[in-house]
């Protein structure tokens, strides 16, 4: 009885394991090598998207891969921006930080959205019935756009405070 159970279990696991889809380690290596030739990983932030080519064809698969690549790129841009925007507040006093901090997440999201729109498609390829797309943006562009948006925000609230100040002085 125990021998039958062991034999049946062995056959079951052997058959089940043969049907598993095991990723090919060489496939990842090839994709990594391909990307290193098209992307400057030290100076760029990248988002890689992929989609299986279904019955709807490569057009739809490419669209899905592009969307995924841009979503991943935005996530990575937000990580970079968090450091940048927080560095802008380092010289600020606690009161100023208290005023500006609540707006940082909105500013970062707005900036990341702008940067994703400016991102460049670096590479596209098809392999193993999948479409792959790589989008990137320069780290310098992230810093520049973050500074620009932050300065615009500071200018905006400064002008609003100035209007309040002028209103108060006119009532005296």
Q: What is the pLDDT of residue 21?
A: 47
**H or E segment to which residue 36 belongs:** helix 25-38
Sheet holding 130-138, edge to edge: 44-52, 130-138, 120-127
Ranges of each domain in the chain:
23-163
Per-residue pLDDT of the chain (172 residues; tens, 9 = 90+): 555 555 555 555 555 554 444 444 445 545 555 655 678 888 999 999 999 999 999 999 999 999 999 999 999 999 999 999 999 999 999 999 999 999 999 999 999 999 999 999 999 999 999 999 999 999 999 999 999 999 999 999 999 999 998 989 887 6
Q: What is the pLDDT of residue 163?
A: 92
| Whole-angstrom distance, CA of residue 54 vs CA of residue 61 | 7
Q: What is the pLDDT of residue 74?
A: 98
Given a contact cutoff of 8 angstroms between Cβ atoms, the answer to whether 146 and 85 are in contact is yes
User: What is the CATH code of the structural domain delimited by 23-163?
Assistant: 3.10.129
User: Torsion-angle region of residue 129: left (phi > 0), alpha (psi -120 to 50) or beta?
Assistant: left
Q: What is the pLDDT of residue 38?
A: 72
| Whole-angstrom distance, CA of residue 118 vs CA of residue 136 | 9
Q: What is the pLDDT of residue 41?
A: 82
């Amino acid at each position: 009885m125990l021998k039958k159970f062991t034999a049946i279990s062995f056959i079951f696991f052997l058959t089940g394991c043969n049907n598993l889809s095991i990723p090919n380690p060489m496939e990842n290596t090839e994709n990594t090598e391909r990307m290193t030739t098209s992307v400057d990983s030290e100076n760029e932030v990248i988002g890689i998207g992929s989609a299986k080519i279904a019955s709807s064809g490569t057009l739809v698969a490419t669209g899905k891969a592009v969307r995924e690549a841009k979503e991943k790129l935005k996530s990575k841009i937000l990580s970079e921006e968090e450091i940048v925007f927080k560095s802008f507040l380092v010289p600020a006093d606690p009161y100023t930080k208290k005023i500006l901090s609540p707006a940082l997440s909105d500013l970062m999201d707005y900036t990341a959205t702008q940067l994703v729109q400016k991102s460049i498609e670096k590479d596209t390829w098809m392999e193993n019935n999948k479409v792959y797309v790589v989008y990137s943006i320069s780290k310098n562009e992230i810093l520049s756009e973050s500074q620009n948006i932050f300065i615009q925000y500071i200018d905006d609230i400064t002008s609003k405070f100035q209007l309040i100040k002028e209103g108060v002085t006119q009532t005296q």
